[in-house]
Amino acid sequence: MSFKGFIDTTFRDGQQSPLMFDSYKYRLTLENKKNLIYGLIRLGVRNFEFFAPNVSKSEAQDFIEIKDYVASLKIPGIRFLAHCRCHPNDIKEAIKAGFDGLNLYIGMTEFAQRFSHGMNMKEIIINVKKIIQATRKFYPRLYLRFSAEDSFRTPLNNIFRMYNEIHEFVDTLGIPDTVGIATPETVAERIKAFKIRYPKVDIECHFHNDRGLSLINALKAIETGASYIDTSIWGMAERSGITSITALLLNLYYENKSLCKDYDLRICYPLNVLMGSILKLQVSPAEPVSITNRTHTAGVHQKAVLNNPYVYEAHNLKIFGVEKNQLLLGPLSGKNLIYYYLREIEYYDLTLDQAAKISQEFKSKSGEMNKKNKPEVILKKIVGRYNLPKLSIKKEFLKNRVENLD
Ligand code: HCA
């Protein structure tokens, strides 16, 4: 395996996510970016992709400040990469701003030729080669990556025509799945073909999630020889996003622990929560490293989890920083959770038979449960009619309780 790590693109593709609009945030503030990059660095990420500075003044200014901030942390091996069109302006501005490398790209599909930049294959090859060759000549130590945008819809022959001309001038060749059409099979096929043809060059992959395959494609890419995978916090990126860094780390941990040795996995969940607090959104339920993934609602599940969480929790998410689980009282809860809740949280002295009766009444009201009429309130009203005694627990024991529901 050739895996060298992640290229975080939270600050580039991440800011292209529709979630920035859904949350009315539109862009991350400098403060947000500093907090997030600190978290990512603590996690173990070392490569960060930013917009080319000419995208906007504020992005350019933020980059300068972040670079200084990260320098003050004195962490070795950090690399800042500017996402640049193969355009002299983008390249000039990125180098002036102090980036360590350029993530260059151009579309080579028939659609890009006709509807985007308007150049044909021959013109693309001549232009890109000229630019990359000159950049390499003047900046021999600058990290250079070149990607044929929309690689999986670009005929392999055309990619080879281009990459044959430039592979000796770049550090990394990218294979982005811009519109999310790749499958594990096509990923493996392409990476194998690239590895045979360009054995000295690293391969970087960037998988969009339009088919929900960005995670499995990333795993397949690593297995077949990709050096870098582009990721972001929450998998935020254009449309339905790319591979989530924490989802990928969780899977790498289960597939091949040695690939996670440079990462402090306990940071995964706090990092996801940090993004949630910035966007004022819950961590996505599709994200494996989330509290949702430790939340149980159905009576059968709740009973089993109360006895032994392993029945419905196969993965130890504590490794990834999710310290708790949740059993939600609601229309699907049964006598076991109700017994637990009334006894352990509300300190009623009741029997399991009484809990069974209460739960029948509670379930008969399931259609009435909503935001204004919460399950706990409905349950309280029912319990009120049972005149149950309360358990007497000494104050000092109460203080020792793990759960604090106040
Ligand atoms: C984009 C498209 C991109 C670029 C990826 C890359 C893609 O937003 O410009 O440069 O590797 O998916 O192709 O995100």
* Ligand 1 centroid, distance to 118 Cα (angstroms): 18
Q: What is the 3-state secondary structure (H, E, C) of 21-39?
A: HHCCCCCCCHHHHHHHHHH
Residue 71 structure tokens: 């320098």
Q: Which residues contact 36 (CB under 8 A, 6 or more apart)?
A: 10, 11, 28, 233, 271, 274, 275, 278
The tens digit of pLDDT for each residue in 264-292 reads 999 999 999 999 999 999 999 899 999 99
The tens digit of pLDDT for each residue in 146-183 reads 999 999 999 999 999 999 999 999 999 999 999 999 99
Average pLDDT, integer, range 222-245: 98
Closest ligand 1 atom, residue 49 Cα: 10
Closest ligand 1 atom, residue 237 Cα: 14
CA distances from 232 to 187, 208, 244 (A): 20, 11, 5
The tens digit of pLDDT for each residue in 29-43 reads 999 999 999 999 999
Q: Which helix (H) or strand (E) holds 255?
A: helix 245-255
**pLDDT band at 112; cut points 50, 70, 90:** confident
Position of tokens 């200084």?
Answer: 68
* Ligand 1 centroid, distance to 238 Cα (angstroms): 9
Closest ligand 1 atom, residue 179 Cα: 12
Examine the pLDDT at 401 and tell me if it is beyond 70: no
Q: How far apart are CA 82 and CA 72, in angstroms?
A: 21
C-alpha count within 13 angstroms, C-beta hemisphere, residue 333: 27
**pLDDT band at 1; cut points 50, 70, 90:** confident
Closest ligand 1 atom, residue 9 Cα: 14
Mutate to test the pocket of ligand 1, among 81, 105, 144, 181 (most ligand atoms within 8 A of CB): 105
**Angle at CA of residue 361, ends 357 and 366, nearest 5°:** 140
The residue whose C-alpha atom lies closest to atom 8 belonging to ligand 1 is 13
Examine the pLDDT at 186 and tell me if it is beyond 60: yes
The residue whose C-alpha atom lies closest to atom 2 belonging to ligand 1 is 178
Per CATH, domain 5-279 is 3.40.50.300: no
The tens digit of pLDDT for each residue in 346-364 reads 999 999 999 999 999 999 9
Examine the pLDDT at 402 and tell me if it is beyond 80: no
Examine the pLDDT at 405 and tell me if it is beyond 60: no
**pLDDT band at 403; cut points 50, 70, 90:** low
The tens digit of pLDDT for each residue in 48-89 reads 999 999 999 999 999 999 999 999 999 999 999 999 999 999
Examine the pLDDT at 398 and tell me if it is beyond 90: no
Examine the pLDDT at 406 and tell me if it is beyond 80: no
pTM for the model stands at: 0.93
**pLDDT band at 313; cut points 50, 70, 90:** very high
Looking at per-residue pLDDT, the higher value among 370 and 405 belongs to: 370
The tens digit of pLDDT for each residue in 373-384 reads 999 999 999 999
Domain boundaries of the chain, sorted by first residue: 5-279, 292-398
